[in-house]
Chains A and B, each alone.
Chain A
């Protein structure tokens, strides 16, 4: 059914089409010279106007824009490179500065340490000196004391023994004999008490 309708319509159309086509004046309208002059006239007019306006006003502007963009981009690239170089230099400078300051800080630290160590050494030396001096003094005193002790002991022993004898006997005895005895005794016992 569909096929039949399809074919009928096709045949009908081709018939109609060919009838209409033959009814027209036929051939190509392009070869009809009726409007040739008019077309040439209007073509020259419109194309001429188009050409003049484009070449005088619009194309120079576009070319200017393009040149401008080109130069500006070149400029920008140049500037960017310059700034990049500058920033690199700055970074280098900063790094140098940081290294330098680090070095300085280390130096300061070292110096301070040295100074402190030196001070400590000095103080210690001084202290040792003082201590040594004191020790020497004390030793001297001890030696003096040691030296003086037997004499004093002798004196005291003579006095006490004379006082004892006086109390016991009631008579005064010549102190020289007592001292001779005490000295004799102390000489004997000295090594025992002082261990010299």
Chain B
């Protein structure tokens, strides 16, 4: 049973079944890891912000470096207008990063390896960005689909392509994160299975692969969180500063 590489993505109920009007909102292992990630983030950052040392200690340094890292990311991609959305993007990045990183622990559940979670996040961003765009530019936000300097003949085609690419943003954003996490964890599980099946004789090769993959997966966990946050910034930039 445990050799099935997809088994690790199973969601199961922890505790009793909770139902509100026939809707099942039971507490599951996914919920558990969401709560663990959120509480870890809150714990680390409240520790990192509680003291006001001029020379920061390690945890304060971590909190402040994360703060400046994300604030710089927003400033670089969305400019100074993106400042009001800093808290959201910070929470988003930290949530995705911590969920990814907790997924790297053995026997842990990776929240972001589920398409529904990433899709809800991505569609929330998509809807939010679209609303911000229409609020800032009114109906002029539709100019986003009409790039300047395109010949009139090509314009209908380009507009259709732009609309499709805009509408596919939540899908690409969510599938990118979900697929990366799922693929990485599945691969690690498969190599782990090889270690067991080849035993002491030939297990060394997949074991060394597993070790290398673990390093790669930690990199991917960080990178995907970063990509998720920076793409959000880029979409936000489109909505805030209409360049087309």
Contact = CB atoms under 8 A, between A and B. Distances in A.
A27 B115 CA distance: 14
B37 to A, nearest CB: 8
Interface residues of B, number: 59
Interface string B11-38: 1010000000001111110110011011
Contacts of A41: 25
B31 A58 contact: no
Contact of B86 (A9, A37, A59): A59
A53 interface: yes
Contacts of B35: 42, 46
Contact of A50 (B3, B41, B49): B41
A29 B34 contact: no
Interface in A23-44: 24, 27-32, 34-44
A57 B11 CA distance: 33
Given A39-B114, A47-B95, A61 B34 contact: no
Contact of A62 (B9, B25, B49): B49
Given A42-B28, A62-B67, A31 B115 contact: yes
Interface stretch (B72-80, B146-154, B193-201): B193-201
B182 A62 contact: no
Given A9-B198, A54-B91, A62-B45, A39 B11 contact: yes
A69 B201 contact: no
Contacts of B26: 35, 38
B54 A54 contact: no
B113 interface: yes
B135 interface: no
Given A28-B9, A35-B30, A65 B87 contact: no
B214 to A, nearest CB: 22
A47 B52 contact: no
A47 B201 contact: no
Interface of B: 1, 3-4, 6-7, 9-11, 13, 23-28, 30-31, 34-35, 37-38, 41-42, 45-46, 48-50, 52, 54, 56, 60, 63-64, 67-68, 86-88, 90-91, 94-95, 111, 113-117, 120-121, 178, 182, 193, 197-199, 201-202
A50 B182 CA distance: 24
Determine the interface band of chain A, counting residues with CB < 8 A from chain B: 35 or more
A119 B213 CA distance: 103
Interface of A: 2, 5-6, 9-10, 12-14, 16-17, 20-21, 24, 27-32, 34-44, 46-47, 49-51, 53-55, 57-59, 61-66, 68-69, 72-73
Contacts of B52: 64-65, 68
B24 A66 contact: no
Residue of A5, A46, A72 with most chain B CB atoms under a 10 A cut-off: A46
22 contacts: A2-B201, A6-B201, A9-B198, A10-B202, A20-B4, A28-B9, A28-B182, A29-B11, A30-B114, A30-B116, A31-B115, A36-B116, A38-B27, A38-B28, A39-B116, A42-B27, A43-B120, A47-B34, A51-B88, A61-B49, A63-B67, A66-B64
Contacts of B23: 37
Contacts, number: 154
Residue of A28, A39, A63, A68 with most chain B CB atoms under a 10 A cut-off: A39
Contact of A40 (B37, B90, B120, B182): B120
Contacts of B25: 37-38, 41-42
Given A6-B198, A39-B31, 9 more contacts: A30-B113, A39-B114, A39-B120, A42-B35, A43-B117, A54-B41, A59-B67, A65-B52, A69-B54
Nearest to B50: A61
Contacts of A64: 52
Contacts of A31: 115
B10 A29 contact: yes
A42 to B, nearest CB: 4
A50 B89 CA distance: 12
